Amino acid sequence: MDCFGLQASFGNGSEKVTTGEAASQLMFFPARIDWLKYSTPQAGFHLAGGLVPWFFALAALLFVLGVGVGLCIAPASERQGDIARIVVLHVPAAWTALVIYLSIAFWAVVGLVLNTRLSFMMGHALAPTGALFALLALITGALWGKPASGSWWTWDARLTSELILFFLYIGYIALHSAIDDTRRADRASAVLILIGAINLPVLYFSVLWWNASHRGIPLALPDVADMAPLTIAATLLAAAGLWAYGVAASLLRLRCIALERERDADWALDYAAGQ
């Protein structure tokens, strides 16, 4: 707060000149003040702790509902039969891997521009979960590909860019752990994630650009026409569930990272003593 001089001008009522300026700042930039309030590791730690149970509950509800409807209630695909039900597992996992990468890129930009420690921590809290979902997208994709097209793997654009996504996650995590100076590691890995973001449009639009059907598996919107409405609804529910899970797992990891990096701070020692 006090880095914008607000506390000083409001704390002392006799400073008539600056109060007006500060009030106009408050009116026009309220978001700025809230952001700063939550940008310290300590504030992030406690905020995350309150949100985790809600996101886990939301994740369990949406994912079980989506998968239940998709596997047990929705009609089988006319073209592929029951194997296409795997869409309610595969597509949400692939979307989650993509969305988590986008989130890390967002926090990398915020961290590089504003130099806030919590932003970099958010990136590294998200990365292992993103890598896990990229791997799950590859595994569930192979489990779909084998019976549907006869092979576990082909080097088509969609599969290859999904594999590159997985390697980018691993590279981001490995680069960070290879540099001892945490702040330097934060910046280097943030730059890597932004360079790797070039893979995202390739991954998303590969189905359209290379005119490959991705074996009839939808991810880009034009392909959705092949699916039954109930299957689409189930896929969206399961995807929302996995996103909520990703938020919950990342916030749990954020709490670990905040404690690890702030291990000399009083608040961290106080918290550990209370556990």
Partner 1 sequence: MSGAGWNEVLHMGGYGVYVWGACLAIAVALLAEQVLLRWRRRSILDHLGQSGARTENDDETPS
Q: Is 253 in the site for partner 1 (CB under 8 A)?
A: yes
Q: Is 51 in the site for partner 1 (CB under 8 A)?
A: no
Pattern 213-252, partner 1, x by CB under 8 A: --------------------------------x---x--x
Based on its alpha-carbon atoms, the radius of gyration of the chain, rounded to whole angstroms, reads 22
Pick the closer one to partner 1 by CB: 6 or 123: 123
Pick the closer one to partner 1 by CB: 184 or 263: 263
Position among 55, 85, 203, 243 found at the interface with partner 1 (CB under 8 A): 85
Position among 82, 149, 178, 208 found at the interface with partner 1 (CB under 8 A): 82
Q: Is 124 in the site for partner 1 (CB under 8 A)?
A: no
Pick the closer one to partner 1 by CB: 56 or 205: 56
- Least separation in angstroms between CB 144 and partner 1: 7
Identify which range of 2-10, 144-152, 199-207, 213-221 contacts partner 1 by CB under 8 A.
144-152
Pattern 145-174, partner 1, x by CB under 8 A: -xx---------------------------
DSSP the chain: -GGGTHHHHHH-TT-HHHHHHHHHHHHH-HHHHHHHHT-SHHHHHHHHHHHHHHHHHHHHHHHHHHHHIIIIISPPBTTTBGGGGGHHHHHHHHHHHHHHHHHHHHHHHHHHHH--HHHHHHHHHHHHHHHHHHHHHHHHHHHHHHHHHS-S----HHHHHHHHHHHHHHHHHHHHHH-SSHHHHHHHHHHHHHHHTTHHHHHHHHHHHT---GGG---SGGGGGGS-HHHHHHHHHHHHHHHHHHHHHHHHHHHHHHHHHTTTSHHHHHHHHH-
Give the footprint of partner 1 on this chain (CB under 8 A).
67, 71-72, 76, 81-83, 85-86, 89-90, 93, 128-129, 132, 135-136, 139-140, 143-144, 146-147, 245, 249, 252-253, 255-256, 259-260, 263, 268-269, 271-273, 275
